[in-house]
Structure 1
Amino acid sequence: MYETAPLLDDPIHNLKTIRDLYRWAITEMENADLSYGHGSPDAAEEASFLICRALKLPFERFETFFDAALTHNELVRLVHLIDRRVHDKTPTAYLLKEAWLTGHRFYIDERALIPRSYIAELLEEDLAPWIDDPYEVESVLDLCTGSGCLAILAQGTFPNARVTGSDISADALEVAKINRRDYGLEDDLELVQGDLFASLEGRRFELIITNPPYVTTASMARLPAEYRHEPALALGAGDDGMDVVRRILREAKDHLTENGMIIVEVGDGLEAVEAMYPGLPLTWLTVSGGDDQVFMARAEDLRAYFS
């Protein structure tokens, strides 16, 4: 009785080293109709991130392992992950159960939106020049906290503040609890379930940050397959994408301290925001995505506008 020869195109039998796998993964990804909106700009970086983190190798030394041979179990697992990325269009962050934002690692799964926000860049810069002294900030709210990533970054930026993360999704908050535990913040970071400010009646904050849903109905219908793995609740926001932002701005005036401010990410919603609130003083902040992604509004201006 003779053994059947392995198929020549079977990667399990033809790939030996990390270099082999990396080259094969790039080709597979380039031949597929993939979207790279969850952290990596192209197939090469996506493949390197997937392989590197699946093997728990350090980013900065990845190339030094190129000629290392893979064990059979490692190869089987990696080929399976790459196959899911290519054919199921599952985002790499969900495959690995991890995402990185401004150099910080977060646990993530399909219960919450994959961490990505320009507000993280602003927190990394201590929100200068809008915040004079981050050590003097005493209260921060991360509205629509999802995985809790911005709330955790805010706790690092404002070490003396009581930070609260709020979300309507109980599932997302379970992910946030994992990240809170991983960062040792179980006694510091408060997580609250509620529809925007519903569970925060009577409470005011010096700073509110929020990356709410802002995808229009038309855009939701055209989303690449990767985004359909994410909770629709965390993305869709009506015909103009402003259903949630509209509520946030109107209600925020009652939840900011006298000199408080709110920072809101709206994607490409600048025109919709300014059309919605002509005359409302807004400051559009500079982030890597441009000057039209994130705005800041002050409590006094919101109270005057919505009085």
Structure 2
Amino acid sequence: MVATSSGRSNETFLSDYALSEQVPATLGDALDQTYSALQKAEVFFGHGSDSAWDEAVFLLLSAVGQPLDSGDEVLALSVAGDSWEKVLGWLHARIILRRPLPYLTGQAWFAGMEFKCDERALVPRSPIAEVIRNGYAPWWTGDGPKSLLDLCCGGGCIGIAAAAYQEDLQVVIADIDTDALSLARENIGIHELTGRVTAVQSDLMDELAGQRFDIILTNPPYVDAADLASMPAEFQAEPPQGLGSGEDGLDMARRILREAGEHLTKRGLLFLEVGNSWEALDAELSGLSLTWIEFSEGGHGVLLVRAEELPEIVQALAR
């Protein structure tokens, strides 16, 4: 039976969203019901999918144990009773409780890789994946970087993906949150990268004294107070410390810019994601020539800073 922690009866939930407690005849029938329910519920899509259809496919295939890249041939398959019960339970949590789907399936994808995902860290989502896949080009030239820091790593997807895409890269992933780091360490083990990826608990770079990196990738909290107050309910399921960063969303970004110069090699690069707060940072640093990355796969708000540019930026922040 579907959980009823919200106070709504099982029958009411099923009726409201035209869901049948009886097991559908085929996977295709189950998909129709799942898609219609998500579409009617008007849930927010932004934690791995961008439409009711994509989320319905992901939810259903995950629940019945079929590969996520399955074709239409699976639509004629029968649905086991326990699988349909799982679908209904996930739909209840997704629609009524507004939990992001990756927290229900325990899976998230980043840079084409699968990661364990739960409430210990934000659901992976960052255009920095494109930077990793492109080998940091065109900004890094010559032999590949040798060392990389994933700062504010959460579940570790950015740093782990960087290590997976470059076999000789040594990676440090750092976060202040011990729960997030426990998830990150599990993901390091899953991807068999314990020899090249090290997890460190640190308040930004406080515990990284003396260490320098060719590349720093960082997706810190950057949501401003206004956006935080108006965010869809799905974000309330995520760790709040991973989202907000002061009135304009830039408290942590400013710290990173001030401290990064002590942790980059001479030709090092900092990729700093600030999302919708990019306009505020751009205005604060007006007069400087800033490099905001344009992404072919979607996303925005990532600033590229070369090591030699940091002194001028730090000076501008002090004004």
Q: TM tier, shorter chain?
A: over 0.9
Task: Tell me how large the CA RMSD over aligned residues is.
Answer: 1.9
Q: Is the 8 A contact 1:206 1:256 kept in 2?
A: yes
Q: Which deviates more from structure 2 when the two are superposed, residues 98-107 or residues 108-117?
A: 98-107
Structure 2 Cα separation of the partners of residues 132 and 173 of structure 1: 32
Structure 2 Cα separation of the partners of residues 295 and 208 of structure 1: 12
1:253 match: secondary structure? helix
* Cα offset, 1:271, TM superposition: 1.6
1:306 match: secondary structure? helix
1:286 match: secondary structure? coil
Structure 2 Cα separation of the partners of residues 290 and 91 of structure 1: 20
* Cα offset, 1:57, TM superposition: 1.3
Structure 2 Cα separation of the partners of residues 291 and 229 of structure 1: 22
Structure 2 Cα separation of the partners of residues 291 and 85 of structure 1: 24
- The question of 1:155 aligning with 2:155 is answered no
1:238 match: secondary structure? coil
Q: Which deviates more from structure 2 when the two are superposed, residues 279-288 or residues 25-34?
A: 279-288
Q: Is the 8 A contact 1:287 1:293 kept in 2?
A: no
Q: Is the 8 A contact 1:53 1:96 kept in 2?
A: yes
Q: Residue in 2 aligned with 1:81?
A: 90
* Cα offset, 1:97, TM superposition: 0.4
- CA spacing shift, 1:219–1:305, aligned 2, 3 Å: closer
- Listed as ranges, the gaps of 5+ residues in structure 1 are 1-5
- The question of 1:111 aligning with 2:98 is answered no
Q: Is the 8 A contact 2:127 2:298 kept in 1?
A: no
2:53 match: secondary structure? helix
Q: Residue in 2 aligned with 1:258?
A: 266
Q: Where do 1:106-255 residues align within 5 Å?
A: 106-133=115-142, 135-255=143-263
Which residue, out of 295, 303, 307, partners 1:287? Answer: 295
Structure 1 Cα separation of the partners of residues 90 and 123 of structure 2: 18
Q: Is the 8 A contact 1:111 1:171 kept in 2?
A: yes
Q: Is the 8 A contact 1:285 1:291 kept in 2?
A: no
Structure 2 Cα separation of the partners of residues 153 and 290 of structure 1: 18
* Cα offset, 1:269, TM superposition: 2.1
Structure 2 Cα separation of the partners of residues 92 and 162 of structure 1: 32
* Cα offset, 1:14, TM superposition: 5.4
Q: Residue in 2 aligned with 1:3?
A: none
* Cα offset, 1:196, TM superposition: 0.2
Q: Is the 8 A contact 1:259 1:298 kept in 2?
A: yes
User: Structure 1 counterpart of 2:44, which letter?
Assistant: S
2:222 match: secondary structure? coil
Q: Deviations over 1:261-285 (max 9, x none)?
A: 1001111222211222234432111
Q: Residue in 1 aligned with 2:59?
A: 50
Structure 1 Cα separation of the partners of residues 180 and 294 of structure 2: 29
Q: Is the 8 A contact 1:263 1:295 kept in 2?
A: yes
- What TM-score do the two structures reach when normalised by structure 1? 0.93
* Cα offset, 1:213, TM superposition: 0.7
Q: Residue in 1 aligned with 2:7?
A: none
Structure 1 Cα separation of the partners of residues 114 and 220 of structure 2: 21
* Cα offset, 1:289, TM superposition: 6.4
Q: Residue in 2 aligned with 1:27?
A: 36
- CA spacing shift, 1:42–1:194, aligned 2, 3 Å: same
* Cα offset, 1:244, TM superposition: 0.7
- What TM-score do the two structures reach when normalised by structure 2? 0.89
1:218 match: secondary structure? helix
Structure 1 Cα separation of the partners of residues 255 and 283 of structure 2: 15
User: Structure 2 counterpart of 1:272, which letter?
Assistant: A
Counting matched residue pairs gives 301
* Cα offset, 1:10, TM superposition: 6.2
Q: Deviations over 1:287-306 (max 9, x none)?
A: 14668421101111112443
User: Structure 2 counterpart of 1:156, which letter?
Assistant: A
Structure 2 Cα separation of the partners of residues 290 and 282 of structure 1: 20
1:203 match: secondary structure? coil
Structure 1 Cα separation of the partners of residues 204 and 166 of structure 2: 22
Q: Deviations over 1:74-107 (max 9, x none)?
A: 1111111112111111111000000112321010
Structure 1 Cα separation of the partners of residues 79 and 130 of structure 2: 37
Structure 2 Cα separation of the partners of residues 144 and 187 of structure 1: 21
Which residue, out of 14, 25, 29, partners 1:16? Answer: 25
User: Structure 2 counterpart of 1:198, which letter?
Assistant: D
- CA spacing shift, 1:131–1:102, aligned 2, 3 Å: same
User: Structure 1 counterpart of 2:132, which letter?
Assistant: L
Q: Is the 8 A contact 1:212 1:245 kept in 2?
A: yes
